[in-house]
Amino acid sequence: MERDRNVAYKGTNNWYDWTKAFIIALLLALIVRKFFFSPIIVDGPSMQPTLYDRDQMIVNKFIYNFKKPERFDIVIFHASDKKDFIKRVIGLPGEHVAVKDNKLYINGEEVDQPFLRHNETTPIVYPIMTNDFSLEMLPGGHEVIPEGYVLVLGDNRSNSTDSRSIGLISMDQIVGKTNLVYWPFERMHFVKE
């Protein structure tokens, strides 16, 4: 009889251990997703030819706790309370940005945009056209990008809602950086600038 009680107790103890392990694993997964990494699905064509509609990516949420965004980082930011956008950082604090004749100028110097050219992960080749603009023409009318803000553009400049219409993006709006496409499998790759 004593042996039967020990077996029953061990069975109850096993169930308790499994439940405790499951709850701990669930809590760890929620913490990782909330503060460190989370998946995102690209919605729409605004980042073509680099990213395509329905590409699935991983967002690094903690990287900007240790460093500031760099030019050409691909970032996720809160465009509104209900909508996040994915765009490329083009202008940094203290810089003047302009596009003329489809060429990007930072502080009056032309800057190459290699991500707009065809490569092995961008099967469609089409010209990327950017209407001429300067920082002063954007919402806010700034002469230079203020501290704590960045200017973002979609890679598909003719079909992107970005800083040209919504203005500069505050660092507080940025969720994180992304550069890994993990699905669809045939497009799995690290995005280069």
Contacts of range 20-28, beta carbons closer than 8 Å, 24 or more positions apart: none
8 Å CB contact between 163 and 137: no
8 Å CB contact between 85 and 75: no
Catalytic residue, from 61, 87, 160, 177: name it.
Answer: 87
* CA–CA distance, 55 with 48 (Å, rounded to integer): 11
Quick check: is 87 catalytic? Answer: yes
Instruction: Identify the DSSP state of 138.
Output: S
105: phi then psi, degrees, rounded to nearest 5: -125, 125
Distance of CA 106 to the CA centre of its chain: 22
SS3 for 116?
helix
List the one residue out of 45, 82, 56 whose CA is nearest residue 156.
45
Q: Which residues contact 146 (CB under 8 A, 6 or more apart)?
A: 93, 168
Catalytic residue, from 20, 38, 46, 83: name it.
Answer: 46
Please report, as a single letter, which amino acid is at residue 169.
Answer: I
Quick check: is 46 catalytic? Answer: yes
* CA–CA distance, 191 with 133 (Å, rounded to integer): 27
User: Which residues are annotated as catalytic?
Assistant: 46, 87
